[in-house]
């Protein structure tokens, strides 16, 4: 068996070599014998193949050709301009061999490697050719013909419509082919295919390849190594480098040897990118339709969203099946999800476990709003929707916000102190002890009430204050940068909660949505009239009217210190680029403007109170993820900052405890009635006295008997006294 396999393999190799030899002989261009001046003897001439001279041929006077297998390839480079050709052989030769063309009279000297004329002149003295010239089968074309030929070849590579098939198809087939034109044209311009070489198309593919990857996977805002350089600049640099490389290293008519390998890999990656982008766009359309028709996200997640997430797998499986591998497609459809669960999740958890790390999965509830609508300056939806930035899911900590706000306010204090000489501007000295007066220093002199009065002490009239203030007091506070960022993140998250915004006093009953995101056109407003019109159309003017009505005098001495009036605050507008928006809105009372790159806690949570009504521009809202990061990726602007996690997904602990899921698995509450202990007086309660003193019952009985005997004795004595009185009456 092994010998038979070796024989079979050797025969296949011999057959392949024979086919290659035949193909090479077919590709050799035929030399025009009538255009050559050849002597009667055998002459060594270099033949042409695909634009270069290789090997040597033996030609006799009758024009018979025979290839010499022992000949080594000797390239001859051909170039030309203005109808003039020049040639040079890169291999030395001891004998002079000349080849002459009939039309131009140019002679190529194979020994001297110098183009000569029939008279031996150099090439620089030759006049331009007056007609199309052939040098050993090479035909010189004009620039227009060359460009037309390349343009035709370029169009054949990307043409999305086969005209013959289109004419033979029915009306349904024609409509189907017309609908496919945009997608096929786009694929032809972006995905290379091996075996169809076109240098302009290859340059276009090289230029678009990095840019399409950035666009498909949404990497334009990705900051490289937490620097200011984004991925789009890197992609542009790579595109320019690839264009220059292909332009220098490739020929117009000859496909490079590495093109098949590169085109297959690039086509594979770009196919994945297009499938991913298509599935993502279909998903966005479905979510937008669900939002327009008020379909709950729970239903969308179980139906349309799940289908859209499977579009990529569907396209891949159908493509594999159409390539003649249905079993592989069916296996991928069944085993793909299992592979993702077992290998994807399993490998991640295993690596984390081996590294001693703890993996936490943060699953967002479907009840949270994943998309935010964008409105134009007329308060109409533009149709665009933005995924809610992760910063709006950050924990809201009013304690941290209040503390950091107070610390930041202290950093703007101006130093103040009383005069160092205050209370000491008098001559005073203590009288000491033994004078029956206090030891406080007393004013010197006499003849006036001031003399002898106490001085210097804080209890004395005209004395200094207790603990005089100093300018070197610790006025400012160092704030932990992580805490400051935490407070800003909490304040931003609170601006997306309508209950907190209304609790702060803002009038947002008629506002379209919270958070309110407006198209970037308002960044170009330059007139206050435009700004007022926008606020009225967006139903925000009611909050401005509240600011107008709240203006009042300030209590205290502040009214004497250039802050006579005070009023409430209105909306906060956060923008990305100042195209005039600050100039337009700055004169409207109560409005504050901030750049998204410099969000200040004192402005977004004034007074340390959360929930200021905030209006975002679209570009500023999209930039929040890159500034503050997400739970899967750190911030690209704030070095070392990770978005804080909430300790509880639902902070309403009382609602959790009282929910049906909890109450049905725990025991009922034990109802224990506490009986208040009554403190009774033992002197009045005989039973309590008996507990304290058992002999009390004996004493009580004795007391009762004694009282009864006393009563009987009194009654008897009363009777005796009554009889004596009666006898005395009769005796009188």
pTM for the full model?
0.49
Determine if residue 375 is left, alpha or beta; phi over 0 gives left, psi from -120 to 50 gives alpha, anything else beta. beta
Looking at the chain, the number of H-run helices and the number of E-run strands are 25, 19
Residues of the domain holding 712: 681-732
CB 77 within 8 A of CB 94: no
Claim to verify: residue 540 and residue 504 sit in the same structural domain: yes
pLDDT at residue 368, as a whole number: 47
Claim to verify: residue 576 and residue 637 sit in the same structural domain: yes
- 3-state DSSP call for residue 195? coil
Q: Summarize pLDDT for 648-661 with one digit per residue, the tens.
A: 777 788 888 888 88
Claim to verify: residue 471 and residue 576 sit in the same structural domain: no
Q: Say if residue 44's pLDDT is above 90.
A: no
Who wins on pLDDT, 169 or 584? 584
> Which of 106, 140, 174 lies at the terminal end of a domain, its last residue?
140
pLDDT at residue 189, as a whole number: 80
In this structure, is residue 115 part of a structural domain? yes
Q: Which two tokens stand for residue 121?
A: 């002149």
Claim to verify: residue 442 and residue 467 sit in the same structural domain: yes
pLDDT at residue 525, as a whole number: 95
| Angstrom distances, CA of residue 153 to CA of 148, 158, 163, 201, 238 | 9, 9, 16, 9, 26
Determine if residue 607 is left, alpha or beta; phi over 0 gives left, psi from -120 to 50 gives alpha, anything else beta. left
Residue with tokens 């006025």: 475
CA distance 439 to 157: 110
Closest CA relative to residue 43, chosen from 114, 108, 121: 108
Angle at 270 between CA 268 and CA 273, to 5 degrees: 115
Angle at which helices 259-292 and 171-190 cross, to 10°: 120
Q: Summarize pLDDT for 635-652 with one digit per residue, the tens.
A: 888 888 989 988 877 778
Confidence of residue 211 (pLDDT cuts 50, 70, 90): confident
**Dihedral of the CA atoms 294, 298, 304, 308 (nearest 10)?**
120
Q: Summarize pLDDT for 261-298 with one digit per residue, the tens.
A: 888 888 888 888 888 888 888 888 887 777 777 777 66
Closest CA relative to residue 100, chosen from 57, 48, 67, 136: 136
- 3-state DSSP call for residue 188? helix
Claim to verify: residue 399 and residue 531 sit in the same structural domain: yes
Claim to verify: residue 405 and residue 424 sit in the same structural domain: no
Mean pLDDT, the chain, whole residue set:
77
497's CB contacts (< 8 A; 6+ apart) are 396, 514, 611
Who wins on pLDDT, 372 or 170? 372
Beta bridge partners of 645: none
Beta bridge partners of 108: 99, 115
Q: In total, how many domains does the chain have? A: 4
Claim to verify: residue 612 and residue 709 sit in the same structural domain: no
Claim to verify: residue 387 and residue 526 sit in the same structural domain: yes
In this structure, is residue 3 part of a structural domain? no
According to the per-residue pLDDT averaged within each range, which of 116-120, 579-583, 660-664 is highest?
579-583
CA distance 376 to 697: 96
CB atoms within 10 A of CB 82: 6
Diameter of the chain measured on Cα atoms: 210
Closest CA relative to residue 515, chosen from 383, 400, 372: 372
> Which of 140, 156, 190 lies at the terminal end of a domain, its last residue?
140
- b (16+ CB within 10 A) / e for 160-188: beeeeeeeeeeeeeeeebeeeeeeeeebb
CA distance 54 to 71: 8
Confidence of residue 103 (pLDDT cuts 50, 70, 90): very low
Closest CA relative to residue 223, chosen from 575, 643, 644, 625: 625
Who wins on pLDDT, 464 or 134? 464
Claim to verify: residue 619 and residue 534 sit in the same structural domain: yes
In this structure, is residue 231 part of a structural domain? no
CB 433 within 8 A of CB 439: yes
Claim to verify: residue 581 and residue 707 sit in the same structural domain: no
Closest CA relative to residue 164, chosen from 154, 177, 153, 152: 177
Q: What is the separation of C-alpha 301 from the centre of its chain, rounded to a whole number of angstroms? A: 22
Q: Is the dihedral of CA 686, 688, 690, 696 positive or negative?
A: negative
In this structure, is residue 319 part of a structural domain? no
CA distance 139 to 253: 14
Claim to verify: residue 467 and residue 484 sit in the same structural domain: no
């Amino acid at each position: 068996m092994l010998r038979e396999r070796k024989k079979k393999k050797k025969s296949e190799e011999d057959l392949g070599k024979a086919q290659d030899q035949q193909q090479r002989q077919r590709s050799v261009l035929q030399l025009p014998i009538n255009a050559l001046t050849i002597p009667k003897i055998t002459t060594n001439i270099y033949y042409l193949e695909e634009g270069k001279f290789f090997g040597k041929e033996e030609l006799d006077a009758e024009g018979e050709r025979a290839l010499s297998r022992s000949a080594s390839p000797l390239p001859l480079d051909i170039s030309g301009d203005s109808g003039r050709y020049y040639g040079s052989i890169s291999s030395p030769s001891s004998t002079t061999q000349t080849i002459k063309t009939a039309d131009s009279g140019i002679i190529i000297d194979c020994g001297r490697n110098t183009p000569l004329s029939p008279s031996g002149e150099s090439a620089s003295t030759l006049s331009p050719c007056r007609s199309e010239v052939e040098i050993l089968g090479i035909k010189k074309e004009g620039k227009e013909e060359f460009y037309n030929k390349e343009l035709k070849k370029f169009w054949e590579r990307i043409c999305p419509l086969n005209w013959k098939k289109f004419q033979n198809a029915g009306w349904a087939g024609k409509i189907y082919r017309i609908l496919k034109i945009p997608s096929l044209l786009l694929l032809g311009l972006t995905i290379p295919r091996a075996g169809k070489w076109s240098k302009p198309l290859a340059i276009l593919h090289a230029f678009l390849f990095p840019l399409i990857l950035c666009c498909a996977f949404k990497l334009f805002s990705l900051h490289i190594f937490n620097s200011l350089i984004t991925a789009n600049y890197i992609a542009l640099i790579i595109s320019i480098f690839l264009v220059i490389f292909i332009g220098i290293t490739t020929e117009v008519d000859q496909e490079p040897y590495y093109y098949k390998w590169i085109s297959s890999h690039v086509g594979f990656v770009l196919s994945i990118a297009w499938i991913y982008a298509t599935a993502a766009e279909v998903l966005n359309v479905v979510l937008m339709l669900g939002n327009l028709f008020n379909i709950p996200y729970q239903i969308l997640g179980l139906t349309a969203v799940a289908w859209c997430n499977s579009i990529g797998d569907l396209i891949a499986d159908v493509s594999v099946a159409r390539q003649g591998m249905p079993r592989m497609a069916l296996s991928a459809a069944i085993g793909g999800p299992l592979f993702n669960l077992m290998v994807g999740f399993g490998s991640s958890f295993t690596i984390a476990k081996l590294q001693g790390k703890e993996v936490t999965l943060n699953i967002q509830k479907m009840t949270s709003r994943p998309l935010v609508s964008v409105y134009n300056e007329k308060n109409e939806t533009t149709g665009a929707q933005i995924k809610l930035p992760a910063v709006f899911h950050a924990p809201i900590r009013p304690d941290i916000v209040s503390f950091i706000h107070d610390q930041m306010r202290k950093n703007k204090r101006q130093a103040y102190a009383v005069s160092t000489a205050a209370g000491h501007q008098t001559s005073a000295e203590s009288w000491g002890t033994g004078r029956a007066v206090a030891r406080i220093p007393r004013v010197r002199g006499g003849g006036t009430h001031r003399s002898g009065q106490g001085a210097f002490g804080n209890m004395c009239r005209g004395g200094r204050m207790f603990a005089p203030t100093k300018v070197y007091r610790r006025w400012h506070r160092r704030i932990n940068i992580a805490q400051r960022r935490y407070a800003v993140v909490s304040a931003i998250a609170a601006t997306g909660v309508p209950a907190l915004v209304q609790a702060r006093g803002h009038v947002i009953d008629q506002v379209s949505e919270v958070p309110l995101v407006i198209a970037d056109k308002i960044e170009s407003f330059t007139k206050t009239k435009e700004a007022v019109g926008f606020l009225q159309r967006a139903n925000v003017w009611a909050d401005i009217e509240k600011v107008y009505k709240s203006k009042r005098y300030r209590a205290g001495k502040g009214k004497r210190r250039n802050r006579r009036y005070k009023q409430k605050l209105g909306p906060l507008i956060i923008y990305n680029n100042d195209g005039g928006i600050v100039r337009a809105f700055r004169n409207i009372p109560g409005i504050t403007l901030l750049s998204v790159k410099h969000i200040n806690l004192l402005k977004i949570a004034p007074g340390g109170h959360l929930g200021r009504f905030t209006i975002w521009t679209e570009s500023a809202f999209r930039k929040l993820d890159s500034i503050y990061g997400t739970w899967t990726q750190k911030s690209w602007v704030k070095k070392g900052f990770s978005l804080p996690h909430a300790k509880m997904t639902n902070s309403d602990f009382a609602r959790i405890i009282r929910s049906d899921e909890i109450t049905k698995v725990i025991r009922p509450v034990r109802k224990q009635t506490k009986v208040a202990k009554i403190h009774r007086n033992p002197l009045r309660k005989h039973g309590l006295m008996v507990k304290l003193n058992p002999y009390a019952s004996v004493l009580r009985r004795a007391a009762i008997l004694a009282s009864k005997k006393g009563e009987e004795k009194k009654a008897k004595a009363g009777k005796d006294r009554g009889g004596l009185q009666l006898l005395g009456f009769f005796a009188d």
